[in-house]
Structure 1
Amino acid sequence: MTTKTTNGTATDTTKTSVAEPTPIIPLPPAAARAATVAGSVVALVGTFLAWTWTEEFPGNLTVTGYPGGLQVLTLISAALTTLFALSGYGIRGLGWLTPGGTNSPTRLLALGVLGTTGYTIGAISYELGGLVNLEPGAWVSGIGALVAVIGALGLPADQGYGPDESPNLWGRIRHSLSAPEPGRAKELPSWAEILIIAAGFGIGLYVFAYGIGTEYSELFIGFLITAGFGFTAVLRAGLIKQLSTLTAKHRNVTMAAAFVAAICFPFTQSNDQYALIGANILIFATVALGLNVVVGLAGLLDLGYVAFLGVGAYAAALVSGSPQSTIGVHFPFWAAVLTGAAASLIFGVVIGAPTLRLRGDYLAIVTLGFGEIFRITMNNLNGNSGPDVTNGSNGIPNIPDLELFGFNLGLPHDVLGTELTRSGNYYLLMLLFTAVVVLVFRRSAESRIGRAWVAIREDETAATAMGINGFRLKLLAFALGASLAGLAGTVQAHVSYSITPEQYQFAGSVPPNSAFLLAAVILGGMGTISGPLIGAALLYLIPAKLQFMQEYQLLLFGFALMLLMRFRPEGLVADRRKQLEFHETGQLDVPEDKPLPEGATGVAKAGA
């Protein structure tokens, strides 16, 4: 059907209907959902059978009737897949799992079951020498997982395919990863919302403690597969968005719940090594949060930020009373903390004052040079190439443990019937420092200065034109970020017993270093509080648990960043500004051939 417009041109006004994408596997919806449920149940039942005949494979998968090791991960994934698939039947009490009625979460969970089970079968075959080492339980769970995936791929496709997406196998999976989240659910009573927040942090604590407590690399890899697909499925279901809405509504309750969950962590670990990983994660996360002030709020690309951590650590080590300290003084801890933060603050101002008039790549190069200059200077202050201050490459060893109010952090203590080890003591101390840094970051971001930083980050020229003193505020951000890093460095010096210049490089196999700190901010989400904390936890935990992959760490790290930039460029936790920047807003474009209304100008046409 064509009609004539006022200028005489003919336009087609026939409405074309867009066909809904058909399932990849041509199954009736009821049959597809039944296959998904049946397959996940079969996979779950298979975890109660033996998967191999020998205990040489870690986890003791030879027991019938009691899942262990990687079988537990398959059991959890299969149970979640069953629940999400059953929610599509409209069963009372399960509808809240998929408030938008989408099938993407079920599809992702089914893929997680297949991924975890398939990895376990492959690992058993590789380590024991072939598929012959598999017992019937492995085959039952493997076949069940495959049936569940086939059924999930046959479920009706979700709406919202973009013009560049295709409802084939890859397009369906990609759409499941990036589909819009459902809208807001109905409001609940305040007490119910508080209970949901507490339950959410409780589940998060359990998952985090389980991941750190994995005793062998095969179990940790399976945990990553299960957690990755599970988190993405929950995100696509809209549950994370609903929890975020509740946490924003009850902000004080959220902060209290997060702090309580973090305090409980060392009491869940019986191995001192795992508690030490938690303490180091907090150090890494606190420094990343300080870098977030510089990069996430002010938009200053700092590639030598780890040097400020080193300044605080060296300052605290020199006044710690170590026998190898060239100064020979012993400050109380509160004075050592102030010394480390003040030293980093001074270095931040000294380095930032002459360089912050630069922008972009030039500033990044200068900060990279500062980081290398710091490391080389610490090496040269050995009494030969320069004054004897830092003992050169030998560093400052034998840093004594802290003693606060008669409480020696180097000794284990019995707290509520549970032994709190040295690492647990330092974890709780670092948690207190993290809470202080979070408070400083939050207050700064919400203040007038924080809004000015964001304006400078978005467009420094426009901000300057509006009367913002860009140089002074950038120097303030640089100094604040440096002092927060120095604060964490004072604790790091005592946790690690010794410090050396090699610990503070731009890139290396062991974090923290400048490259991993910057990646933690980008991975987690720039400008947010929880983003750098999550990013730092992942980037520290994965190398710490997968020592055998240390040679390929940078390769895998780069590959992970490529995937992140492709599927979630705004980071794991993104603010509203980043979501609007990297994703479509849903606004309709004005057709080019649409006639302009009377009185419209050429500027309006160009804008359209």
Structure 2
Amino acid sequence: MTTTTPAAKADREPAGPVPGLLKLPANAARWATLGGAAGTLLSTFLAWTWTEEFPGNLTVDFYPGGLQVLVLIGAALTLIFALSTMGIRGLGWLTPGGKNSPVLFLAAGTFATTWYTVIAITEKLGGLVNLEPGAWVAAVSSAVLLTGVLGLPADTPGDAVRPPTSAHQRLLHSFKAPTPGRGRELPSWAEILIIAAAVGVGLQVFAYGIGTPYGELFVGYLVIAGFGLAAISRAGLNRRLSSLAARHRNVTVAAAFIAAFIFPLTQSSEAYATLGAYILIFATVALGLNVVVGLAGLLDLGYVAFLGVGAYAAALVSGSPYSTIGVQFPFWAAVLTGIGASLVFGVVIGAPTLRLRGDYLAIVTLGFGEIFRIAMQNMDGTSGPDVTNGPNGIPNIPDLEILGFNLGEEHTILGFELGRFSNYYLLMLIFTGIVVLVFRRSDQSRIGRAWVAIREDETAARAMGINAFRLKLMAFALGATLAGMAGTVQAHVTFTVTPTQYKFVEVVPPNSAFLLAAVILGGMGTVSGPLIGAALLYLIPEKLEFMADYQLLLFGIALVLLMRFRPEGLVADRRKQLEFHDTGQLDVPKKADLSKAGV
């Protein structure tokens, strides 16, 4: 018979709630959170300024516009998540265990967007006198909201919804769902509907970001989206959605590509389709680099040169009047020419350099990228052979024509008008699908596992009988091939190919530095990570033109913060999460587990 001492019994009893950052009574903090969120939400239906000089027209009552819409979304989500922490029936699934950290992230995003708007109005219009009562209500309510959230109990492992102890909690308890147990599995059709809804929401969020007409609105979008994603992650919704996507992988991939196909049909301006086309080019090249860096672990700092090889090869056979070859290949032959040229260059450059490792390999690939740019600049008939027209490049590249379908002309499909960039967007979407398929097949193959082994420890991989040099050369050649394929489309989209497009560092991507940053930012070794990273790194310079003088500074600060708080990237696989967040200590059994074992 086992006796239990009072000290051991106390250890087994669940600990009380951990106080928040501010020492506030729990009831006061919760009511301040609810009241602040409701007040901030209602303030968006009031005018925030009296003049339309501030973009977004924040002068109309009962009709939110511009940044007010983002504040409205943030306040509404904060209110919903705050109610879910109380176990309200139908909302408890948002924050299992009554976690308060998702509410904190949403409240912080709402507060930051609200005060950014108030400060921007004051700075742009010249003083606090330009603020209407709605702006003052929003500022005060968001401050109350943040204060209340900071007073909520902090999350603890195994945090659960606590029983009612006060009058207002007993009142809310009548609306609460039953105590959660093991969740009942949803039918397959319901899981597919959830995946479709998630993809649709993602498309709407992405389209809204591309369609932001001015920089202030895009800044607010980044703040709300960033804190919203952090809240979703802390609530565990991303893990549950990932498990559903893993069970219905083919449905998820099909839904993602259908949503991407619908994107140009939902845009009212061809300018937004232009951004989409360039983002896909950038993202496709980043996925190719992900094969080299993410899977094989080869630090390539001159990868943009392979994009240039494919673009120049396609431009020379495009039928441009400035081409020194003077031939015009059909589309499929031009693509194969760009792919073949990049493959050859990848093998020629990789064969002598891949015997190096680490920093030495990075320096050599960086040198190759600069050699390519300088060589293309010198092939002007004076400093070298007349092949590329030197600094002038190859302009007037004609539009592609596929089976009589000219991508440079407007076409009507299913009643929707598709312009030039919408056509190239859809073509690039097909190429992106091919690259995603190649990446996934490579990652899941025997060769992909060998690449990962080389990336983790090349010496151990060689000891296990892996031919490291041959496999690294295959990764280098495959990455170059994928970049060359994207380059063939880039040459026709941009009308011209010049050496200045392929520098190591340039304010406007794609370039080698931004490509590598897109892979690291999004998450090495994943499919969706480089796509998200490329989209962010292309959109931010395009939308924040009013901060052009500080773009590289802000970019560096963002990378430092990312490496500090999320070194595995925005989308990371399980291996990277364990690698970057491992404490280096053995797991210690919990007291509850020890008590069950009779210890």
- CA drift at 1:21: 3.5
1:481-506, CA deviations, whole angstroms, 9 ceiling, x for partnerless residues?
Answer: 00000000000001111110000011
Equivalent in the alignment of 1:450:
448
- Residue type matched to 1:309 in 2? L
2:475 counterpart SS class? helix
Write the mapping of 1:290-439 to structure 2, written as runs, cut at 5 A: 290-439=288-437
Equivalent in the alignment of 2:594:
none
- CA drift at 1:140: 1.0
For the structure 1 residues 333 and 87, does the alpha-carbon distance in structure 2 shift closer, same or farther, using more than 3 Å as the test? same
- CA drift at 1:584: 3.2
For the structure 1 residues 259 and 474, does the alpha-carbon distance in structure 2 shift closer, same or farther, using more than 3 Å as the test? same
Which whole-Å CA distance do the structure 1 matches of 2:184 and 2:479 have between them?
40
Equivalent in the alignment of 2:208:
210
- Residue type matched to 2:219 in 1? I
1:515-569, CA deviations, whole angstroms, 9 ceiling, x for partnerless residues?
Answer: 0000000000000000111100100011111112222111111111111111111
**Pairwise CA RMSD:** 2.0
User: Do 2:86 and 2:98's aligned partners in 1 also have CA atoms closer than 8 Å?
Assistant: no
Q: Which moved more, 1:16-25 or 1:229-238?
A: 16-25
User: Do 1:185 and 1:242's aligned partners in 2 also have CA atoms closer than 8 Å?
Assistant: no
For the structure 1 residues 184 and 546, does the alpha-carbon distance in structure 2 shift closer, same or farther, using more than 3 Å as the test? farther
Alignment equivalent of 1:142, drawn from 134, 139, 144: 139
2:443 counterpart SS class? helix
- CA drift at 1:187: 2.8
User: Do 1:112 and 1:230's aligned partners in 2 also have CA atoms closer than 8 Å?
Assistant: yes
User: Do 2:87 and 2:98's aligned partners in 1 also have CA atoms closer than 8 Å?
Assistant: no
Equivalent in the alignment of 2:545:
547
1:343 counterpart SS class? helix
- CA drift at 1:26: 2.4
- Residue type matched to 2:93 in 1? W
1:21-43, CA deviations, whole angstroms, 9 ceiling, x for partnerless residues?
Answer: 32222223232122111111111
User: Do 1:317 and 1:396's aligned partners in 2 also have CA atoms closer than 8 Å?
Assistant: yes
User: Do 1:202 and 1:261's aligned partners in 2 also have CA atoms closer than 8 Å?
Assistant: yes
- CA drift at 1:588: 4.0
Equivalent in the alignment of 1:158:
155
User: Do 1:108 and 1:232's aligned partners in 2 also have CA atoms closer than 8 Å?
Assistant: yes
- CA drift at 1:90: 1.3
User: Do 2:75 and 2:110's aligned partners in 1 also have CA atoms closer than 8 Å?
Assistant: yes
Alignment equivalent of 1:566, drawn from 564, 577, 599: 564
Equivalent in the alignment of 1:534:
532
Equivalent in the alignment of 2:31:
34
1:49-81, CA deviations, whole angstroms, 9 ceiling, x for partnerless residues?
Answer: 100000001111101110000000000000000
1:87-117, CA deviations, whole angstroms, 9 ceiling, x for partnerless residues?
Answer: 1221111111112321000011111111111
- CA drift at 1:137: 0.6
Equivalent in the alignment of 1:22:
19
- Residue type matched to 1:34 in 2? W
Equivalent in the alignment of 1:575:
573
Equivalent in the alignment of 1:173:
none
Equivalent in the alignment of 1:584:
582
Write the mapping of 1:113-132 to structure 2, written as runs, cut at 5 A: 113-132=110-129
- TM-score, normalised by the number of residues in structure 1: 0.90
User: Do 1:99 and 1:185's aligned partners in 2 also have CA atoms closer than 8 Å?
Assistant: no
- Residue type matched to 2:230 in 1? T
Structure 2: gaps (5+ residues): 1-6, 159-179, 590-599
Which whole-Å CA distance do the structure 1 matches of 2:8 and 2:229 have between them?
44
Write the mapping of 1:134-283 to structure 2, written as runs, cut at 5 A: 134-159=131-156, 187-283=185-281
Which whole-Å CA distance do the structure 2 matches of 1:189 and 1:32 have between them?
39
- CA drift at 1:417: 2.0
- Residue type matched to 1:310 in 2? G
- Residue type matched to 1:44 in 2? L
Write the mapping of 1:503-514 to structure 2, written as runs, cut at 5 A: 503-514=501-512
- CA drift at 1:184: 9.7
2:204 counterpart SS class? helix
Equivalent in the alignment of 1:602:
none
- CA drift at 1:415: 1.8
Equivalent in the alignment of 1:596:
none
Equivalent in the alignment of 1:461:
459
1:295-333, CA deviations, whole angstroms, 9 ceiling, x for partnerless residues?
Answer: 000000000000000000000000001111111000001
User: Do 1:100 and 1:183's aligned partners in 2 also have CA atoms closer than 8 Å?
Assistant: no
User: Do 1:345 and 1:482's aligned partners in 2 also have CA atoms closer than 8 Å?
Assistant: yes
- Residue type matched to 1:528 in 2? T
1:556 aligns with 2:562: no
User: Do 2:17 and 2:153's aligned partners in 1 also have CA atoms closer than 8 Å?
Assistant: no
1:81 aligns with 2:85: no
2:412 counterpart SS class? strand
1:568-597, CA deviations, whole angstroms, 9 ceiling, x for partnerless residues?
Answer: 110000011101111137964679xxxxxx
User: Do 1:395 and 1:498's aligned partners in 2 also have CA atoms closer than 8 Å?
Assistant: yes
User: Do 1:57 and 1:124's aligned partners in 2 also have CA atoms closer than 8 Å?
Assistant: yes
1:104-140, CA deviations, whole angstroms, 9 ceiling, x for partnerless residues?
Answer: 0001111111111100000000000011100001111
- CA drift at 1:244: 0.8
1:99 aligns with 2:96: yes
- Residue type matched to 2:512 in 1? S
Equivalent in the alignment of 1:175:
none
Identity %: 75
- Residue type matched to 2:494 in 1? S
Structure 1: gaps (5+ residues): 1-11, 162-181, 592-608
For the structure 1 residues 91 and 472, does the alpha-carbon distance in structure 2 shift closer, same or farther, using more than 3 Å as the test? same
- Residue type matched to 1:372 in 2? E
- Residue type matched to 1:329 in 2? V
Size of the alignment, in residue pairs? Answer: 560
User: Do 2:291 and 2:439's aligned partners in 1 also have CA atoms closer than 8 Å?
Assistant: yes
